[in-house]
Amino acid sequence: MSEVTKIFGANVFNETVMKSRLPKETFKLVQRAIHNNKRLDSATAAVVANAMKDWAIEKGATHYTHWFQPMTGITAEKHDSFITPAADGKVIMEFSGKELIQGETDASSFPSGGLRATFEARGYTAWDPTSFAFIKEGVLCIPTAFCSYGGEALDKKTPLLRSMEAINKQALRVLRLFGNEEVTAVKTTVGPEQEYFLVDRDIYLKRKDLIYTGRTLFGAMPPKGQELDDHYFGTIKTRVKAFMTEVDTELWKLGVVSKTEHNEAAPAQHELAPVFATTNIAVDHNQLTMELLQRIAKKHGLICLLHEKPFDGVNGSGKHNNWSISTNTGVNLLNPGETPYENAQFLLFLCAVIKAVDEYQDLLRISVASAANDHRLGALEAPPAIVSMFLGDELSEILEAIEKDEPYGAKEKELLKVGVHVLPKFPKDTTDRNRTAPFAFTGNKFEFRMLGSSDSVAEPNVVLNTAAAEALRQFADELETAENFEEALHDLIQRTVREHKKIIFNGNCYDEAWVGEAEKRGLLNLKTTPDALSHLLDKKNIELYATHKIYTEAELKSRLEILLENYCKIVNIEALTMVDMMRKDILPAVSEYISTLSNGLLARSEFDFGKFTSFEKETATVLSALSESAYQKLKKLEKLTAEAAKCENSAEKAAIYKDKVIVMMEELRADADRMETLTAADYWPFPTYGELLFGVR
């Protein structure tokens, strides 16, 4: 056995381990829980818990934790040891079925958006047996969902699991219509490609903005940026390579199939992609990946920046969410088939996604909305804030032929009849040429590229699963009562294409002209988080989530509160950090430099050298003017920040941050960045972009 196969999954209580450690009957029941969403009874849970504990102790664990994903977007854990006091002052190691299945935790410090009254601070965590327990840093981690006393979701996993159930139910209805009786479960699959930056830890520690906000609030462009494209897929530096090797090894031990690691377009930017997995597992694994990237970077004297836009002027970091729908019999439903029937089924699922993305553009945009991602969307090499879909020319032509009842292709004489004709073959590689599209069909899956690098993968998949479930529900309702299935199917596909083709755009989404074109088509362009969030409680969205039991209206309202609150807090911290850096570091440094220049000027005039050079004079004059301008803006920024902080209505508050605070921050930064280019290197108080972006050697 190779080293890799030996370590892979070594820290995971997976099915192989369970099979070898659980009684046959218990194992069968656990399998049912995993694959068919059946509940475990308490007697079975007790047996599983005991086996899990023995296994964990053998691996050196002393504690366990319910590992959950509150609305903070990262994971939370509270460690309890297995120790229980026994007679004679001794201890035994115990772990009960109850402790495995449900935990109780003080939820008062986790965001609840008003769902949980302060007098009812308890929160409950419940085991998700579909995601295996694992050992991390000597702690047995049990993936769990996190709810309030009243059962309302306080986390990202609960709605995700609900959405997976919704699409399972509706997709099965559709499959039955195609005569498919063997499939018993439909799951969505996700492969998230994770981008990140690596910077030198010592350099990082000299930047308050990176420490407090994760991004640079100041910084002039160095002479070299990413224009040479010499970083992309370039040779990986030895230090980075050592880091990546350790990341891979640790991820493999946790059963994460980390597959590719390469340099990205911007200097210091990299990417890691795993092999896809069932959606909730992919979400858990991505959380682990982000955690490990950050932890292991430190061991190598590096800092991993997961922020969406750590540097102005070079690419930001995203997380491509590759998504598909598969049956438990191993069929990818977004894979074009060989026979007319398979083709028809594929086209129907494709249409469900087209309809879903068009009707819930706003929810998809909201699912990736954050103060950080606002800087990235629509900037360098990132999809714009407009949601559109790329299908590629061949597939688009096929849909057009169906829509217009026209022959497809030059040679075809016959009209393309869904369910009767085999689809013409289209070469796979033509489907993935356009990297500018926010939502692209890439042969047998969709790639959603708006997601930010630090985001949880849960939210966009809640939207995708639920919106697709709704489209499939409507399709099934219509087709189940049809007299002639094939005709009804053809009509349905034709109508769906007609109604929703406005979302399909195969052109360059980075092109300015697309913004105007999209507007003409009536597509949404929700540029900022507050703009996007203003749609969350639209009637159609409340109805969608209620129909599929994903969020109640109360849950949705609480999420809106949390998202707005988070947006305000982030911008507030950034503004305060900017003020601090400006007052305490930048302005004093510039002032000092101006006085040095003035001294130089004086010295020259004493020797009557003044007429030979204007360097000191011009530089000091421009810097004085800039520092005066910056100082005035600084005071304005302080005032605006105070005004925003006072506002009590979260939507209005967010609007102040968006329309006033951020605007002033940008103006202030412009002055500072100009001052940086004029100030002698020794005087500038922070490491430059050049040092940050090219500092890892």
By a kind-dependent CB cut-off of 5 to 8 A, residue 263 interacts, out of Mg ion, ligand ADP, none, with none
Nearest to ligand ADP by Cβ — which residue? 191
Torsion angle of C-alpha atoms 249, 254, 260, 264, degrees rounded to 10: -90
Interface residues with Mg ion (CB under 5 A) are: 320
Beta strands in 72-208, from DSSP E residues, in sequence order:
80-81, 83-85, 91-93, 102-106, 122-127, 133-136, 139-148, 186-200
Least distance (Å) between residue 542 CB and ligand ADP: 29
Q: Which helix (H) or strand (E) holds 455?
A: none
Q: Considering beta carbons, is residue 144 or 465 the nearer one to ligand ADP?
A: 465
Q: Which is nearer to ligand ADP, 264 or 676 (CB)?
A: 264
- Which residues is 124 bridged to in the sheet? 104, 147
Binds 275, which of Mg ion, ligand ADP, none (CB < 5 to 8 A, cut-off by type)? Answer: ligand ADP
197 binding partner (options ligand ADP, Mg ion, none; Cβ < 5 to 8 Å by kind):
none
Distance of alpha carbon 112 from alpha carbon 533, whole angstroms: 17
As given in the structure block, the two tokens for residue 553 are 């209206």
CB 333 → Mg ion: shortest distance, Å?
20
For residue 320, the minimal CB distance to Mg ion (Å) is 5
Nearer to ligand ADP by C-beta: 325 or 471?
325
Please report how the helices 458-480 and 340-359 are oriented relative to each other, as an axis angle in degrees rounded to 10: 120
**Among 299, 297, 501, which Cα is nearest to 398's?**
501
Query: Residues 49, 95: contact at Cβ < 8 Å?
Result: yes
Residue ranges in contact with ligand ADP by CB under 6 A: 189-191, 193, 273-276, 322-324, 332, 442, 444-445
Q: How far is the CB of 443 from ligand ADP (least distance, A)?
A: 8
Contacted by 31, from Mg ion, ligand ADP, none: CB < 5 to 8 Å by type = none
User: By C-beta, is 168 or 619 nearer to ligand ADP?
Assistant: 168
Using CB distances below 5 to 8 A depending on partner kind, what does residue 189 bind out of Mg ion, ligand ADP, none? ligand ADP
Q: Is 482 helix (H, G, I), strand (E, B) or coil?
A: coil
Choose among 580, 676, 666, 583: nearest CA to 626.
676
The partner in contact with residue 191, picked from ligand ADP, Mg ion, none with C-beta cut-offs of 5 to 8 angstroms by kind, is ligand ADP
Least Å from the CB of residue 356 to ligand ADP: 16
What tokens were used for 81?
A: 């040891």
Q: How far is the CB of 445 from Mg ion (least distance, A)?
A: 10
Q: How far is CA 345 from the centre of its chain?
A: 30
Sign of CA dihedral 624, 629, 634, 639: positive
Q: In the complex with Mg ion, which residue's Cβ is closer, 190 or 302?
A: 190
**Residue with nearest beta carbon to Mg ion:** 320
Rounded least distance, CB 164 to ligand ADP, Å: 14
504 binds, among Mg ion, ligand ADP, none (CB under 5 to 8 A by kind): none
Cβ 338 to ligand ADP, closest distance in Å? 18
Per the DSSP assignment, residues forming a β-bridge with 146 are 125
Nearer to Mg ion, 26 or 194 (CB): 194
| Of 432 and 565, CB closest to Mg ion | 432
Burial of 342 (0-12, 13-18, 19+ CB in 10 A): middle
Q: What DSSP string runs through 315-361? A: ---BEEEEEEEEETTS-BTTS--SSHHHHHHHHHHHHHHHHHHHHTH
Q: Of 319 and 559, which has the nearer Cβ to ligand ADP?
A: 319
Amino acid at 127: W
Choose the one of ligand ADP, Mg ion, none that binds residue 276, judging by a C-beta under 5 to 8 angstroms depending on kind.
Answer: ligand ADP
* Separation of alpha carbons 276 and 258, rounded Å: 9
Cβ-based nearer residue to ligand ADP, 444 or 596: 444
Residue 422: CB atoms within 10 A of its CB come to 14
Nearer to Mg ion, 431 or 577 (CB): 431
Residue whose structure tokens are 């949390």:
562
- Residue 275 CB, shortest distance to ligand ADP, in Å, is 4
SS3 (DSSP) at 257:
coil
In total, the chain counts a number of residues equal to 697
Q: How far is the CB of 696 from Mg ion (least distance, A)?
A: 25
Question: Are the C-beta atoms of 449 and 437 separated by less than 8 Å?
Answer: yes
